[in-house]
Structure 1
């Protein structure tokens, strides 16, 4: 570096308040979803409410928005030159927070602890994303399209085509190719979710090349509560759920929820998974009703739902085979 370069370093891209605000909006959405999860956990809404139907789509949109904005921020902070000290500092904060969540949930929810959630994905995808910063945007965009196409094939056209039991163990399931990933309260594997971050990288690179940033910066010039929350999103993320779950817990001490019917939650979850694999709805209803009855009759429903026994348990597999025959 010359003396002139040292005295006149390359200017940094100014912070765009609108992006902080969008991140703040994502935080609000995330809090509403987690509040629904808390209500389900304490029995105020039906089992499976937060993980099926509209709320399942809602959760995926929220995760996608965080990863997309992380990709945008990666470009704004580290293109055209990676600021290594700043990157590793931020990476350590996110990875450290992810580790803290893993430890906390392992203690609080040992059968469903978070081993690779949204923060784990943001940390790893950001590291991988560095390799895409200088690639032509159309090439990164093409990779995003390929990942999305592979996801459509794996989830809809040929369900499970890319999955293998070899990836079922926790130390490999984070890649996203497990047939039956370990249970977790937050599972955001690398595939296909890295596509959302790379999409953010692509859009930000295009915005830079077409000089859209000044116009984006002009949309919002003054900070507000949302932008302030978005600027400190990691702290908000770590604090909001303990606060929400504590509030619901305190409410439950005054107004306890009615005892849940484990059969309802099981059948709903079973039918969603069965139809999601392309099976006939009527067949799925018969199969799930049959397995629910047999699980209850053999006193296996509660151990299965609590994670005490796994879906791969021989007793569970045996009754599933029986119900597959009976449902035909």
Structure 2
């Protein structure tokens, strides 16, 4: 006699909408990251504290929704066939990202990014669909707290960095370690189990927006995994050729040079207008003598240093004419 079929849970449109909003935010962030990397925009999106906060907030929402999806997708009985199919697809996507980023960014390729984390976290989180809520919450709290108290140089190595506890993370464009990020999935599990055990679940399930925008967001949410896989190749396919043609890094390095020079000059007590004249003169000297590589690398030959010194004297004489009389 076959076991009775498990009644499927209702689909929560609000969860699909939340996924849609999250994937739009992720695509927007990666667009800004790409524009920053190719120097179309000035902020260093990968390191600027405000941008880092934005990235981590988006990641936390994504992983929270992974926990929500695990509860809604399985409930009290794990649907192994569906779980293996979805996890296998995520693993293949993660491997594709590793290969793609290795080809494009060999020094900072993604070896344990968002999709790698989602695949592993989905497996690690399965037992927490059934254990007492207080235990799940306790484990989540411990996972958040431990990185504040435990660190070791061993975890600076790529081989172990996916666990967490590093002192200095290895170079990579995306790293989502178990500690503390598995906690976001567990919090999603706790929140969803609490909601499903209350009357709130019925009211949330009844929410079915009919407007064009909610339907669009819900559709994006249902296809969020595929969108995540495809959006970066599409963005890079557009931005990389544009950067090769427009060469925004040239204009940006000129802007950076002038800003740094202006700040240093004014800090020495020279007025802003004179500093502007001095720095513009210095920029012309760097360009005419093709000294960009020397300046950015810090590897200045004796001949290049002589040229720089002569340019500095010429620019100083331009703003302080009395220097022209100096023997």
TM-score grouping bracket, smaller chain normalisation: 0.7 to 0.9
CA contact (8 A) 1:47 1:264 kept: no
Alignment of 1:169-208 (within 5 A): 169-208=157-196
Partner of 1:297: 298
Alignment of 1:247-262 (within 5 A): 247-259=238-250, 260-261=252-253
Residue 47 of structure 1: CA displacement? 5.7
Partner of 1:22: 18
Match of 2:203 among 207, 215, 221: 215
Distance 2:249 2:8 in 1: 56
SS at match of 2:206: helix
Distance 2:295 2:37 in 1: 25
Relative to structure 1, the CA distance from residue 147 to residue 264 in structure 2 (aligned partners, 3 Å threshold; closer, same or farther) is farther
Check if 1:135 corresponds to 2:136: no
Consecutive unaligned residues in structure 2, runs of 5 or more: 261-293, 301-327
Residue 122 of structure 1: CA displacement? 0.7
| 249-258 or 121-130, larger mean C-alpha shift | 249-258
Partner of 1:87: 83
Check if 1:236 corresponds to 2:224: no
Alignment of 1:1-328 (within 5 A): 2-3=1-2, 5-6=3-4, 9-46=5-42, 48-151=44-147, 154=148, 161-222=149-210, 224-259=215-250, 260-261=252-253, 296-298=297-299
Residue 178 of structure 1: CA displacement? 2.0
Q: TM-score, normalised by structure 1?
A: 0.73
- Please say which structure displays the higher CA radius of gyration: 2
CA contact (8 A) 2:37 2:44 kept: no
CA contact (8 A) 1:36 1:50 kept: no
- How many residues end up aligned between the 2 structures? 261
Q: TM-score, normalised by structure 2?
A: 0.74
Aligned residues: CA RMSD: 2.5
Distance 1:130 1:171 in 2: 25
Provide, for residues 8-28 of structure 1, a one-character-per-residue CA deviation record: whole Å limited to 9, x for no partner. x12111111110110010011
Distance 2:116 2:169 in 1: 16
Relative to structure 1, the CA distance from residue 175 to residue 243 in structure 2 (aligned partners, 3 Å threshold; closer, same or farther) is same
CA contact (8 A) 2:90 2:115 kept: yes
Provide, for residues 245-301 of structure 1, a one-character-per-residue CA deviation record: whole Å limited to 9, x for no partner. 222234335533142449969xx9xxxxxxxxxxxxxxxxxxxxxxxx9994347xx
Distance 2:295 2:22 in 1: 42
SS at match of 1:181: coil
CA contact (8 A) 1:106 1:113 kept: yes
